[in-house]
């Protein structure tokens, strides 16, 4: 039955609701003003409005507004399976996402499938609430007990996590590959006699740099070696990066001496066939490589001649040579790039400099000497890391450890230091976690910060034991005593 109201034809099957009679483009324009809560309320009215509110064009901007767009690309939450299924037997499991809330194509309830970005929004909100509300499940792994043939005194000395793959380098130089969904060790790689200097994991591939200049690529699925790549012999590779296409490796001396005149090069390898694509060389007297960062197919290197050099890792072209004014030869440098900027922390000249990646123009140059008060010397080289559009600078001293957070214009947003020492900082995606070794009541704390639109907010802190080893979007890894503890937020 059809009636007319003010000249508009209205179908009684949808409850004489004028909103359902509007043209789709006008409905969409109205819905663009609604919040996620309002859209959910509208969708619960009837099937027609549910379909109208179930579009990526409405939900993607909401994800972007909350800083959750990364969960549709870098970490695809539509493919992430919760650590443990939700308890449906009458008990409670508030950590795992309720998968029944998502309508699939093969659903028997005869509804249009939940659009991709609405699903991402729902899951990202659940994940962020878990981080904020300290909702996580705990699993414990004991790497040294995994195989009876291992030296019982062997302990984990390096840990890397990537989604469900956790890679552990033991003190006896064996490598263990764990599946954190099942809490089982899938493969044991025999000891690398030269010693493991660094490693990274990405998309089922493990890149290992050794102390003799060799890069090895292993399969996380089979544990087999896929490629063995030899750079300059007798170099200690201590920087390595990997993505789905490329491996970047570099040998960087810890300290520069008068006898250390060799130029250090950056190597670019192909992940699929192990072929050498490029060698980035600098033919400048005294230009020794001090630090490297890699992101979005671009490599940035910090050199002792007070220059940063930016390369396109695919073409091999040098895009920029970025110079800055300071006296003498720089020995302690750290560089990084992210969200359109390149940053350098010069701990000799105590300067912090930021450039625009596209133009190569200097955005800011500020002194950081006043931020690190009473720090005469430090035991380890400082580190500069990018978290979204903010930059975290850390220094580890004899008496105090310092962690500063800057925006891309060089503005100091936060300065943390403590006489008891903050032991470490881990950065990933839009989060960074600072482990406080001397918190209240002598309890160690992991202070969790999230960056959204240039603002850094502490979302929570978690009491912990053991060293903070690493984080990703859904997990935090700690190493108390002889085991590994994983907090699963998903």
In a domain, 166, yes or no: no
State the first-to-last Cα distance of the chain, in angstroms, to the nearest integer. 49
| CATH at residue 99 | 1.20.1280.50
Token pair of 166 as six digits: 């956790």
CA distance 349 to 345: 9
99 closest CA partner among 126, 117, 75 = 126
* Closest among 109, 88, 108 to 99, alpha carbons compared: 88
At 276, list the tokens.
Answer: 């050498």
Q: Is 357 helix (H, G, I), strand (E, B) or coil?
A: coil
DSSP state for residue 127 in the 8-state scheme = H
Q: How far apart are CA 344 and CA 291, in angstroms?
A: 10
Per-residue pLDDT tens over the stretch 195-216: 898 999 999 999 999 887 889 9
Q: Is it the case that residue 325 has pLDDT exceeding 80? A: no
| C-alpha to C-alpha distance for 339 and 389, rounded to whole angstroms | 6
Question: Does the pLDDT at position 78 exceed 80?
Answer: yes
How deeply is 268 buried, as exposed, middle or buried, from its count of CB atoms within 10 A (0-12, 13-18, 19+)? buried
Sorted by sequence, the CB contacts under 8 Å of residue 149 that are 6+ apart come out as: none
Residue 36 pLDDT greater than 90, yes or no = yes
Phi, psi of 231 (to 5 degrees): -95, -140
pLDDT at 371 over 60: no
- What the block records as the tokens of 442 is 């002598």
DSSP 73-104: TTS-TTTPPPSS----SS---SSS--GGGSPP
Judge whether 417 lies within some domain. Answer: no
Full domain range(s) for residue 104: 22-132
- The yes-or-no verdict on residue 9 having pLDDT over 50 is no
Q: What is the mean pLDDT of the chain?
A: 83
Check residue 116 and give its pLDDT: 95
Residue 62 lies in a domain: yes
Distance separating alpha carbons of residues 168 and 425, to the nearest angstrom:
19
Beta bridge pairs of residue 176:
168, 188
Distance between CA atoms of 481 and 490, rounded to whole angstroms? 25
Q: What is the pLDDT of residues 232-255, one digit of tens each?
A: 665 678 899 999 999 999 887 555
Is residue 55 domain-resident? yes
**What is the pLDDT, as a whole number, of residue 7?**
43
From 9-18, 245-254, 379-388, the region with the lowest mean pLDDT? 9-18
pLDDT of residue 419: 53
pLDDT above 50 for 6: no
Q: Does 87 fall in a domain? A: yes
> What are the helix and strand counts (H, E) for the chain?
5, 34
Asked whether residue 66 carries a pLDDT value surpassing 70, the answer given is: yes
In a domain, 96, yes or no: yes
Rounded Cα distance between 351 and 209, Å, is 31
Mean pLDDT (whole number) for 62-69: 93
Distance of alpha carbon 329 from alpha carbon 307, whole angstroms: 11
In this structure, is residue 41 part of a structural domain? Answer: yes
Name residues whose C-beta falls within 8 Å of residue 233's C-beta, 6 or more positions apart in sequence: 212, 213
What is the rounded average pLDDT of the residues 369-397? 74
Look up residue 130 and give its two tokens: 């878990």
Record the tokens describing residue 126, joined without a space.
């659940």
- Backbone phi, then psi, for 25, in 5-degree steps? -65, -30
473, part of any domain:
no
To which residue do tokens 């063995």 refer?
228
* C-alpha distance from residue 386 to each of 39, 103, 254, 432 (Å): 35, 37, 22, 10
CA separation for the pair 352, 394 (Å, rounded): 12
> What is the total residue count of the chain?
490
Q: Which residues pair with residue 471 across a beta bridge?
A: 476
> What digits encode the pLDDT tens for the residues 288-309?
888 999 999 999 999 988 899 9
- How many domains in the chain? 1
User: The whole model's pTM is what?
Assistant: 0.86
């Amino acid at each position: 039955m059809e009636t007319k109201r003010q000249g508009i034809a209205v179908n009684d099957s949808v409850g004489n609701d004028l909103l359902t009679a509007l043209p789709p483009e006008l409905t969409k324009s109205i819905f663009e003003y609604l919040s996620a809560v309002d859209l959910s309320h509208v969708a619960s009215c009837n099937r027609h409005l549910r379909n109208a509110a179930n579009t990526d064009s409405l939900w993607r901007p909401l994800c972007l507004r909350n800083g959750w767009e990364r969960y549709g690309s870098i970490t695809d939450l539509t493919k992430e399976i919760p650590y443990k299924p939700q308890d449906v037997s009458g008990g409670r499991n508030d950590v795992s996402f309720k998968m029944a809330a998502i309508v699939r194509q093969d659903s028997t309830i005869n509804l249009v499938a939940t659009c991709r970005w609405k699903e991402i929004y729902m899951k990202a909100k659940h994940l962020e609430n878990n981080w904020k509300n300290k909702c996580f499940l705990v699993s414990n792994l004991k790497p040294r007990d995994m195989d009876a043939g291992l030296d019982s005194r062997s302990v984990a000395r390096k840990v890397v996590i990537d989604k469900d793959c956790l890679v552990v380098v033991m003190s006896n130089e064996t490598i263990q590959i764990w599946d954190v969904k099942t809490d089982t060790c899938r493969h044991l790689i025999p000891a690398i006699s030269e010693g493991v200097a660094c490693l990274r994991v990405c998309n089922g591939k493990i890149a290992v740099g050794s102390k003799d200049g060799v890069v090895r690529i292993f399969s996380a699925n089979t544990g087999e070696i896929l490629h063995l790549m030899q750079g300059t012999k007798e170099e200690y590779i201590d920087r390595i990066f990997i993505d789905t296409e490329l491996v970047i490796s570099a040998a960087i001396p810890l300290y520069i001496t008068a006898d250390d005149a060799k130029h250090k090069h950056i190597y670019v390898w192909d992940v699929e066939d192990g072929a050498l694509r490029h060698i980035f060389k600098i033919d400048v007297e005294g230009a020794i490589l001090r630090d490297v960062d890699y992101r979005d197919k671009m490599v940035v290197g910090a050199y002792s001649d007070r220059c940063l050099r930016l390369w396109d890792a695919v073409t091999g072209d040098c895009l920029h040579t970025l110079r800055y004014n300071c006296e003498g030869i720089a020995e302690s440098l750290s560089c990084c790039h992210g969200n359109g900027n390149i940053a350098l922390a010069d701990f000799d000249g105590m300067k912090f400099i930021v450039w625009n990646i596209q133009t190569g123009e200097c955005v800011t140059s500020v002194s950081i000497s006043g931020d690190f008060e009473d720090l005469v010397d430090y035991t380890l080289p400082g580190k500069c890391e990018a978290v979204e559009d903010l930059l975290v600078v850390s220094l580890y001293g004899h008496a105090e450890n310092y962690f500063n957070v800057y925006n891309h214009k060089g503005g100091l947003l936060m300065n943390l230091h403590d006489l008891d020492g903050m032991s470490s900082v881990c950065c990933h995606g839009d989060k960074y976690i600072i482990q406080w070794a001397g918190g209240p009541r002598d309890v160690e704390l992991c202070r969790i910060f999230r960056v959204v639109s240039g603002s850094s907010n502490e979302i929570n802190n978690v009491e912990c034991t053991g060293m903070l080893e690493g984080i990703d979007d859904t997990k935090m890894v700690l190493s108390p005593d002889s085991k590994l503890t994983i907090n699963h937020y998903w």
